[in-house]
A and B are shown apart, each in its own frame.
Chain A
Amino acid sequence: MTRPDEAAQLSQQDMAAILAVTRGLAAPFELHAMLAEVTAAACAVLRAERSSVWLHDAASDEMVLEISSDIAQVRVPLGSGLVGACARERRPINVPDCYADARFDPSVDRRSGFRTRCSLTLPLIDHRAQFIGVMQVLNKAGGVFDRGDEALAEALAAQCGVALSRVRMTAALIEAEKVQRELELARELQQSSLPATLPVVAGYDMHATFLPAALTGGDTYDLALTEQGLWVVIGDATGHGIAPALSVERMHAMLRMALALGTDLETTFRRVNDQLAATLPAGHFVTAFIGLLDPAAHRLRFISGGQSPILHWHAADRRCSLHKAGSFPMGAMPIVALRPAVTIDFAPGDVLALLTDGVYEQENGRAEQFGLARVEAVLGQHADTPAADLAGAFLSALRTFADSQLQEDDVTMVLLKRR
Chain B
Amino acid sequence: MSNPIISLNNVVKEFTIGGGFAAEERFKALQGVSFDLYKGRTLALVGESGCGKSTCARLITKVYPATSGEILFNGHNINHIKSRSDLQDYRSKVQMVFQDPFGSLNPTHTIAHHLTRPLKIHQQVSSKQEIPSRLRELIDLVELSPDTLGKFPHELSGGQRQRVNLARALAVGAEVILADEPTSMLDVSIRLGVLNLMQRMKKELGIGFLYITHDLATAHYIAEETAVMYKGQIVEWGDTHAILTDPQHPYTRLLISAVPDPDLPFGKLVESEPNYLQDSEQIRADSAVVTEGYEQVGPNHFVKQWIKAA
- Whether chain B is bound by chain A comes out as no
Interface of B toward A, CB cutoff 8 Å: none
